[in-house]
């Protein structure tokens, strides 16, 4: 795409550091993107936006209307850092990233989990998580019973519409990965596999609808997706097999809650949440987002791992159609991890955030 353009391409990217170490890793992602400008004819216009629990404590608003409007109308894509989520109810507060996913129609969370050659067990999977419904619709009620005890209820919502949409993008990703294999890129898998994860043996209506909707969509479109092997895993069995034999999984699709748990758990297979990227994807928009939290225990120490954010910038570029610079970022990060000298403490090293960033930019 870039080779066909003789002039510079300007991309408006919005940066939402959020809370904690988000304020340290998002600038790292910006530095890497800026280092690409001269070699790929890309020019970035960066604007910092507000959101997060700290902003809520200061202003009473976790996600300002201005942030949403700028993202909707003046942006090619965005990077979101991290958000602190209190474990007990805080009146008036709800997660800004969850709200952004709904307001911008970011229905898919795409999380590649891939090991670096020669380090740990071989892993090469993409977890595709439905991003808009399931228990995360946050429709909860608390009742007081006649005896004074309390009962809490939460709605689990699965729709045919959202499930078809997430099943389709998961199948498309499986096809894209097969195209990469045919181009000679290394992979653990010889042919595409999509594993549908559910708990329909217990939740026969809700998870049953998820399972059947994806299977029906696949069966009705075998002319396009017939080369993909469609498989299933009950979610508890999926967790067990993912840790015992992660090499058997290619693309995994799951409802919101299961996908959240699986994707965080899968990060343990490749060393740390600090190395796993993600992208929140909709029809017309994408937000790159590292998988770790705000990590208040290391905030301000300059040792947060920037790799997940840097890989998320590559994933953002990939979904925007700039696959070549994305591939170069992936390669530079892999080279940094393989060399095993410049690493942050979560990976057993002693380097600072900036030292890792500098090393990756040097490799670019």
| Distance (Å, whole) CA 283 – CA 319 | 11
Which among 356, 313, 299, 347 has a CA at the least distance from the CA of 120?
347
User: What pLDDT shows up at residue 42?
Assistant: 85
Alpha helices in the chain (DSSP H): 22-40, 53-59, 65-73, 96-103, 160-182, 206-219, 222-225, 235-244, 256-267, 307-319, 323-339, 353-363
Instruction: Determine whether domain 110-272 maps to CATH 3.40.718.10.
Output: yes
User: What pLDDT shows up at residue 6?
Assistant: 41
User: What pLDDT shows up at residue 138?
Assistant: 86
* Total-model pTM: 0.89
Strands of 124-130's sheet, edge to edge? 42-48, 9-18, 77-82, 286-288, 279-281, 108-114, 124-130, 251-254, 193-198, 229-234
Radius of gyration, alpha carbons of the chain: 21
Per-domain residue ranges for the chain? 6-106+282-364, 110-272
CA distances (Å), 191 to each of 194, 248, 251, 327, in order?
10, 11, 11, 22
CA distances (Å), 256 to each of 61, 135, 157, in order?
25, 7, 10
| Distance (Å, whole) CA 151 – CA 112 | 38
- CATH topology of 6-106+282-364 equal to that of 110-272? yes
Walking along the chain (364 residues) 10 residues at a time, the average pLDDT comes out as: 50 94 96 83 91 95 95 90 86 89 93 83 93 92 96 97 98 90 70 96 97 98 97 97 95 97 93 91 92 91 96 94 90 91 92 97 93
User: What pLDDT shows up at residue 1?
Assistant: 30
**What is the CATH topology of the domain spanning 6-106+282-364?**
Isopropylmalate Dehydrogenase (3.40.718)
Q: Maximum distance among all alpha carbons in the chain?
A: 75
Q: Are 36 and 42 in contact (CB under 8 A)?
A: yes
User: What pLDDT shows up at residue 305?
Assistant: 96
CA distances (Å), 318 to each of 189, 286, 295, 321, in order?
21, 10, 27, 5
User: What pLDDT shows up at residue 13?
Assistant: 94
User: What pLDDT shows up at residue 166?
Assistant: 98
């Amino acid at each position: 795409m870039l080779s066909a353009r003789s002039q510079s391409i300007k991309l408006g990217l919005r940066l939402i550091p959020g809370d904690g170490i988000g304020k340290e890793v998002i600038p790292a992602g910006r530095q890497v993107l800026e280092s690409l400008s001269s070699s790929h004819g890309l020019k970035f216009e960066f604007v910092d936006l507000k959101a997060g629990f700290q902003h809520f404590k200061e202003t009473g608003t976790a996600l300002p209307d201005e942030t949403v409007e700028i993202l909707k109308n003046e942006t090619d894509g965005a990077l979101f850092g991290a958000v602190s989520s209190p474990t007990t109810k805080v009146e008036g507060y709800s997660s800004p990233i969850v709200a952004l996913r709904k307001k911008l129609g970011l229905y898919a969370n795409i999380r590649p989990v891939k090991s670096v050659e020669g380090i740990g067990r071989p892993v090469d999977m993409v977890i595709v998580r439905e991003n808009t419904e399931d228990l995360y619709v946050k429709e909860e009620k608390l009742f007081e019973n006649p005896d004074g005890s309390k009962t809490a209820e939460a709605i689990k919502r699965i729709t045919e519409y959202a499930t078809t949409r997430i099943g389709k993008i998961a199948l498309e990703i499986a096809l894209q990965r097969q195209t990469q294999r045919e181009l000679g890129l290394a992979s653990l898998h010889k042919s595409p596999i999509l594993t549908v994860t559910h708990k329909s043996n217990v939740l026969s209506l809700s998870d049953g609808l998820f399972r059947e909707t994806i299977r029906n969509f696949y069966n009705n479109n075998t002319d396009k997706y017939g080369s993909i092997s469609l498989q299933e895993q009950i979610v508890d069995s999926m967790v067990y097999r993912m840790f015992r034999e992660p090499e058997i999984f290619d693309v995994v699709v799951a409802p919101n809650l299961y996908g959240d748990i699986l994707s965080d758990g899968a990060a343990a297979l490749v060393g740390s949440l600090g190395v796993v990227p993600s992208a929140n994807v909709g029809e017309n928009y994408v937000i790159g987002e590292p998988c770790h939290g705000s990590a208040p225990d290391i905030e301000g120490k300059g040792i947060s791992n920037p790799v997940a954010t840097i890989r998320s910038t590559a994933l953002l570029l990939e979904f925007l159609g700039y696959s070549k610079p994305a591939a170069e970022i992936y390669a530079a990060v892999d080279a940094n991890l393989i060399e095993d000298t410049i690493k942050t403490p979560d990976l057993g090293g002693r380097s600072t955030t900036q030292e890792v960033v500098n090393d990756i930019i040097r490799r670019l």
